[in-house]
Structure 1
Amino acid sequence: MTVDSRHDYHTEKEDNMDEKHDVEHASVVLDEENNSPIPEVAAVVSITDDPSLPTLTFRYWVMAILFSCLLSFFNQFFWFRTNPMSISALVIQLVSYPFGKFMATVLPAGRLNPGPFNIKEHVLVGLTANCAAGTAYAVDITVIQKVFYKQDFGFLANFLLILTTQMLGYGMAGVLRRYLVYPAAMVWPANLVQVALFNTLHKDEDLAPGQWSRYKFFLVATFTMFCYQWLPGFLFPIMSSIAWLCWINPKSVLLAQIGGDKGLGIGAISLDWNNICAYLVSPLVVPWWAQVNIGIGVFLIAFVMSPIAYYTNLWDAKKFPINNSKLYTTSGQIYNTSAVMTNFVLDEDKYAAYGPLRITTFFALTYGVGFAGLSSMITHTWLYHRHKLVAQWRQSREHSEDIHHRLMQAYPEVPDWWYGGLFVLMTVVAIGTCEVWDYKLPWWAVLLGIALSCFFVLPVGLIQALTNQQPGLNIITEYVIGYILPGRPIANVTFKTLGYISMVQALTFTSDPKLGHYMKVPPRAMFWAQLTGTFIAGLVNLLTANWLLTSQHKVCTEENKDFSCPYVNTYYSASVIWGVIAPNRMFGPSSIYNSINYFFLIGLVLPIPFYYLKKRFPNTWMEMIHIPVILASTGMMPPASPYHYTNWLAVGFIFQFFIRRYHNEWHLRFTYILSAAFDAGVAFMVLLSFFIFGIRNKNMVDWWGTRPDLCPLNGAPTIAPLE
């Protein structure tokens, strides 16, 4: 689950309604004569290049390895935290700049130090950090095996599985570059944040008298956020979630469900940047039209569908809390998975005696919406993109989309066989790993998982390249293998990782070359930079996870208040739902959740009327409606709660609507920088507080602002479970 920052674009004719024109409606034939046809791209991306600049220098290798190790360690460490966070690769961009300048100053001139530290070296350090920033999804397999299933295949098996799932996407990325990198319409807005920052650091700005430079602005904003974050992050943690509705009457179950941060969170306020962005990318850089769609989805699902379902007692909803990802028996007790398994496989007799599995109604609805989001993506891609895909296929060999693509012709492209060879090698290793160790996943299932990833990667990539929202394949992969190989939890999550993360990595390996495309970095240098970061991240992620599993008492349980692992617990719940119990029992004809399957049909049909309404009423608010983004809006819930989204949207409104519309020059100049500064300030504070206090198990003294029990019935069931 990896997360990125976003931005958008519009033409001057559309000032009366932000982003009413989705780039997906743009013509395939783009203006190639001057600058990019996308205003935000034209504002931050240079149209000049110097092919003589060195790239894979000694300085690059030192910084790439050092910072990749540090970034992958800290992000895996923070992944386990009760309040997870992620240090953005933007922080590495900033730290590596003075480091590179220092090396260029102190190293002797020559091959080790070929002149001043240049922007292309810096970009390659950033690309390597990008690949090392995300935590390897397959690490969660290791964690749930050890913590919940009491099983351990050893370091080699774990590392090979991580390596294959992280690198399989390279083969797909080799094909995708013709559709998602070369065309100017494929903006990948998150990359513009990094482009703006690189240019800020390496180019002198033409400043008016008294005007701040972007770098000065970044330093001041970073220091300000670093100082402020001590309040919600340590001194006054209640600022992270001010559930004031619940405070009115702490004994009221209804207020706890409606206003508690673990319930629907209506009215809950967060003054903690880390909490606002804990499960979502920075709201400062997501396009406003995309945020509107996310807001529509959250409102309909979390504040309309979920309360109606809960308070009408759909699926015995009132026996369970209103919102979490835990597993329950029919009477509302926590489900004991080990009571229904023998040798890590479902035991039919034990299951019949123990009883069926139940989940919260909100959790079930989010699965249904995930079904709809997946099918809607197929329909949406066909309706909106089929002509452009055909045109791009025909033009991919000889057509230059814009000036940036023309400038990149100065460098030799990565041969297709490099991508293809790595893809075949990783496929063979994946099959061998699953066959040698007892993952209970046969070779043909490995191939099926990879095939699913290949099928969906292009339509998902189109959506991400335009909106920076990435619908996931985790649900459909779980669903498919759960029917084929029921009762096998480790096989289920392994198949999910092969099918889902291969696609995610393919899009990471496509997004990064787009950054290199903007910055005119040689493609072959980018290829090796990505491989380096991916290999380092997989190794360090696994070592870090193993260290935490052995050093932390009751890690990934509620008994460990600092490392309760919300992501891992949701991952474990999914392994039980789709692997142990399996979809036939969970969502089949005999299950109370059977109606969830209709969401597949709903998602398949839903984009069609909106497509024709947009054609019937052009240049209206209808242009903003994007069904796959709406349906993907709650993809992080749970473990995220609705209040995370409402606070995120509030901040997004300020920057991506109000400031963008009424202070557009400031927005183009500083918004990306401010987002990076906030991330950096929070990261520095969290790291410093950990090494000063956390590593010694020191906490803030107890006072009203640190009390976790101000909403004691937070999200509690309406009907108390039996003891």
Structure 2
Amino acid sequence: MSPSLQDEVSSQEHSQDASHYPVDEKKAPVDVGTEAGNFESGEEEEESIHHPADKDDILTHTLHLQDDPTLSSLTFRTWFLGIGLAVFGGTISSIYYFKPQTVVVSTVFVAVIAYLMGEGMAMVIPRKGAIGRWLNPHPFNIKEHLAIIVMANSASTAALGIELLAVERLYYDAKLNGALSIFLLFSSQMLGYGLGGLMRKTLVYPKNMLWPSNIPVNNMLETLHRPRAETRKPLKVFGFVFTAIFLWEIVPEWIMPILTGVSIFCLANQKSAVFTNVFGGASGNEGLGLFSFCFDWDYISGGYSPLYYPMESLISQGVGVILCIVVFSGVYYGNIWNAQNFPFLSQVLFSENATMADQLQWNQTLVIGADNRIDKEALALVGLPSFAATYAVNILVSNMSISAGIVHMLLWNWNDMQAALSAFYPSNLKRKFNPKNWNLTFWKSEATVEPNEENYDPHYKLMMSYKPVPNWWYSLVLVLSVVIGLICLYKGDSTLPWWGFLVSCLVAWVFLLIFGAMQAVTGIAFIIQPIVQLIGGYIQPGNPVANMYFCLYGYNSVTQGALLCTDLKLAQYGHLAPRVTFTMQMIGTLVGAIFNYIMMNSIVTNQREILLSVEGTNIWSGQQPQQYNTLSVAWGGLAHELFSVGGRYEWCSLAIIVGFFAPLPFWLIHKKFPSLGMNNVNTSVMIYYVSYLCVGINSSVMMFFLLGFASQWYLRRYHPNLFIKYNYLVSAALDGGTSVIVFIMSFALFGAAGNAVSFPIYWGNNSNGNYDLCLYTD
């Protein structure tokens, strides 16, 4: 244990009989504002909530502003459960990565399992004697719980590096040795952590950086760890909702899958391909799901509950989805890009010269030479590849939303972002390069920096009681990641030069700043992979392998930086000591990367043929590495031919320019007519959702918005007390109960541990076609 962590431990009081929130005056919790969760409140609380749409209500009513710094977070339980769940998260996230349906390890699921196991250890392990005092010093508390969640979260997202390693083995017959592979994963993960940690003042501390996905988790933790006398009613609500959804999910997931998407239009006409494309959506890549009703919370939420998205975000998403249906239908039935020659929804490359359905896929093996570069002669023979038109639209609007997002954040959130940008002002750069100013202030602790009470999250004030993480910790992580990354690139024959790697790091820094802030404000994690691969494709043309490595560091680092900031905000809301958070994140990431690699190596070795097949099986699928390979070939190998001016998909690149101007009309209208509410329209989110329905199961979209608006508009506006007390608690219970039962069914029924157990086929389980009984189309 490092000296700083030892100081952290020694500063905490370990009392065998300490309760979760001690009432001893000598150990009184620090209180800097309204205490959340007064579940017995009446008219006085109702009067105190004047603006239910204000972020301050979330930060001061839904989440408590009370902390007890004496609660111990680093105990035997923390290390045992944290490392154990990190091993589980790293293993299961790799397994899920190679599944037919994309699944994520939910934070709520981790939180529920950690709570059950932590309380179980506190009850079972003796508390007497020296060993008892070490293993079970006090009741399981919220700080231990939060530390375990942070460690497990850090390991529970599959590293993009395993995708690159899988693609190299599957498509290029290249295999890095084990040590080099693990260091590659380490460097790509930690690079994002270093960048994200140095952006804390911009992406974590301000109150506008809400990170909405954390609120249900923190709200649930507070409820679980308050004294039972205060939380009897909310715990009953949580338990009832958790149990109800746990039992209910068996029905739509296994017994009656038609409930995944009930389409009145498809039931009325089961012989129309048009109806399937527009109204179907209960099966993967089936249709757009217009007017379908979904009763499966697993698909409605998917780990991103509609109950926690801010209202302005829901509005922008809803407008985007409506436009998506219009644009997709217009492009396909207008036969733009020869759309009707290919499937309505698909993500693979197709041959423009194909005449038979079984010859549609483009043959990359013939075009990519032994040096992993594009063979121009073979390309002339085979021809350029084509996309399904809807997937081309996805690339186009993704790029457009990225440039729109940059302008949107500069227009609407400039005050929040200038803390990160100010370091690059000429005056500051001049001062930093002046030897007279080299007093190492950069490396000093931030403890002397007082928070801005107007712009900073009120929970940050409570964090001033703890030793902060110095900037040099994150700087060291960043420097080591860059050095290790460069070694891996050259030892692994990546074909990406050192300067290309540094450009990818710069791209990651810019995009993390912009889209990390976007995710913090809206709750939406943008997929910026296309534009990162576009940049890599133009600086290294005709080189798909180099493009994969460029994307690894330019895109994965953004994802990892956002994950770090998410957990930093989770810890800030829960008042976990910053140095404990840092340690949990670093150890969790290292453990997760190791087990990511172990499972990837095993699966790719044993399931190679299945992963290379188009269909896969009901247990294994190579859909994600296939998509990664496809984009690397298109962008890295053929960017000039496909996407430059004059190319078939030139507007996929030109859309970037259009995106820079998209937010301006809404901003100008708001300046002239502020009462119109144009500030609630996030142009980049709206554009991003214009292609939202390009993949997967879409029958859940209508229910997502119905429930989201019911929560964030009706309940929040007309019943603010109910909203504050129960909205995020119910959201956590729904996600938690669903995650637990889906995990159990994955192994017991769906074949994760062997053969699947199928429910008998009948009208409610049309497993031989589309579950919503729409016409089945290839």
Same fold (TM over 0.5): yes
Check if 1:400 corresponds to 2:451: yes
Aligned partner letter, 2:299: N
Residue of structure 1 equivalent to 2:635: 578
1:593 correspondence with 2:649: yes
Distance in 2 (alpha carbons) for counterparts of 1:640 and 1:271: 17
Q: Are 1:125 and 2:148 an aligned pair?
A: yes
1:607 match = 663
Retained in 2: the 8 A contact 1:322–1:715?
A: no
Structure 2 contact 241–730 (Cα < 8 Å) conserved: yes
| In the alignment, structure 1 residue 272 sits paired with structure 2 residue 296 | yes
Higher mean C-alpha displacement, 618-627 vs 632-641: 632-641
Query: Residue in 2 aligned with 1:699?
Result: 758
Equivalent position amino acid for 1:496 in 2: C
Decide whether the 8 Å contact of 1:257 with 1:714 is kept in 2. Answer: no
* Partner Cα separation in structure 2 for residue 715 and residue 290 of structure 1: 34
Q: Does 1:153 align with 2:176?
A: yes
Deviates most, 243-252 or 78-87 = 243-252
Provide the secondary structure at the position in 1 that maps to 2:104.
Answer: coil
The reply to whether residue 370 of structure 1 matches residue 393 of structure 2 is no
Whether 1:490 and 2:490 are equivalent positions in the alignment is: no
Equivalent pairs counted in the alignment come to: 684
Match of 2:349 among 311, 327, 337: 327
Residue 331 of structure 2 is matched in structure 1 by 309
Q: Distance in 1 between matches of 2:760 and 2:697?
A: 28
Whole-Å Cα distance in 1 between the matches of residues 483 and 332 of structure 2? 47
- Is the aligned partner of 1:225 residue 2:245? yes
**1:340-489 pair list within 5 angstroms:** 340-343=367-370, 344-390=372-418, 398-402=449-453, 403-489=458-544
Paired residue secondary structure (1:342) = coil
Deviation at 1:587, TM superposition (A): 0.9
Superposed CA RMSD: 2.8
Q: Is the 8 A contact 1:80 1:566 kept in 2?
A: yes
Question: Could you tell me how far 1:158 is from its partner in structure 2?
Answer: 2.6
What does residue 239 of structure 1 align with?
A: 259
Paired AA for residue 350 in structure 2? Y
Cα shift readout 1:322-378 (whole Å, capped 9, x = no counterpart): 222121111451112112122232211111001111101111111111111111122
CA 1:376 to 1:120, structure 2 compared with 1: closer, same or farther past 3 Å?
same
Distance 1:598 1:678 in 2: 42
Q: Which shifted more, 706-715 or 482-491?
A: 706-715
Q: Tell me how far apart the structure 1 counterparts of residues 722 and 90 of structure 2 sit (CA, whole Å).
A: 33
1:484-524 deviation per Cα after TM superposition (whole angstroms, max 9, x unaligned): 22232222122112011212211221222222222222111
Q: 1:316 to 1:420 in 2, by over 3 A?
A: same
Post-superposition offset of 1:243 = 4.3
Give me the TM-score of the superposition, normalised by structure 1: 0.88
Q: Give the residue type in structure 2 aligned to 1:596.
A: C
Residue in 1 that maps onto 2:119: 101
- 1:672 has 2:700 as partner: no
Corresponding residue number in structure 2 for 1:9: none
Partner of 2:769: 709
The alpha-carbon distance between structure 1 residues 514 and 488, as it changes in their structure 2 partners (threshold 3 A), is same
* Corresponding residue for residue 621 of structure 1: 677
Distance 2:62 2:212 in 1: 11
Aligned to 2:160: 137
- Once the two structures are superposed, what CA deviation does each residue of 1:373-409 show, in whole Å capped at 9, x if it has no partner? 1111221122223344447888996332344333222
Percentage of identical aligned residues: 28
State whether residues 567 and 639 of structure 1, in contact with CA within 8 Å, keep that contact through their aligned partners in structure 2. no
Give the SS at the match of 1:341: coil
State the alpha-carbon separation in 1 of the partners of residues 223 and 686 from structure 2. Answer: 34
Quick check: 2:337–2:389 contact (8 Å CA) kept in 1? yes
Aligned pair partner of 1:59 in 77, 90, 94: 77
Correspondence 1:191 to 2:219: no
Whether 1:175 aligns to 2:198 is: yes
Moved more, 471-480 or 95-104: 95-104
The aligned counterpart of 1:30 is none
SS of match in other structure, 2:351? coil
SS in 1 for 2:350: coil
Cα 1:487–1:690, aligned 2, differ >3 Å: closer, same or farther?
same
1:339 equivalent among 338, 355, 366: 366
Task: Name the CA distance, whole Å, in 2 between partners of 1:17 and 1:44.
Answer: 13
Q: Which residue matches 2:599?
A: 544
Distance 2:50 2:682 in 1: 19
Conserved in 2, the CA contact under 8 Å of 1:141 and 1:490? no
Matched residue, 2:67 = 49
Q: Which residue of 1 aligns with 2:626?
A: 569
Q: Once the 2 structures are TM-superposed, how far is the Cα of residue 259 of structure 1 from its aligned partner?
A: 2.2
How has the CA–CA distance of structure 1 residues 555 and 387 changed in structure 2, closer, same or farther, with 3 Å as cutoff? closer
CA distance in 1, matches of 2:642, 2:87: 41
Q: Distance in 2 between matches of 1:14 and 1:205?
A: 25
Partners of 1:618 and 1:712 lie apart in 2 by: 46
Query: 2: CA distance between counterparts of 1:488 and 1:214?
Result: 57
> Aligned residue for 1:721?
none
Following the alignment from structure 1 to structure 2, what is the Cα–Cα distance between the partners of residues 246 and 569?
Answer: 31
Residue identity opposite 1:213 in structure 2: K
Q: Distance in 1 between matches of 2:382 and 2:545?
A: 21
Amino acid at match of 2:500: A
Alpha-carbon distance in structure 1 between the residues aligned to 2:51 and 2:322: 22
The answer to which of 54-63 and 259-268 deviates more is 259-268
Tell me which amino acid in the other structure corresponds to 1:308.
G
Q: How far off its partner does 1:715 sit? A: 5.7
Preserved contact between residue 399 and residue 531 of structure 2 (Cα < 8 Å): yes
Q: Following TM superposition, by how much is the alpha carbon of 1:660 offset from its aligned partner in structure 2, in angstroms?
A: 2.8
**Which runs of 5 or more residues in structure 2 are unaligned?**
1-45, 355-359, 424-445
360-369 or 392-401, which deviates more = 392-401
Could you say which residue in structure 1 is the equivalent of 2:234? 214
Instruction: Say whether the 8 Å CA contact 1:197–1:673 is kept in structure 2.
Output: yes
| Counterpart code for 1:157 | L
- CA positional deviation for 1:15: 10
Secondary structure of the residue that 1:652 maps to in structure 2?
helix
* CA distance 1:406–1:692, shift in 2 (3 Å): closer
In structure 2, distance between residues paired with 1:474 and 1:641: 21
Q: TM-score normalised to the size of structure 2?
A: 0.82
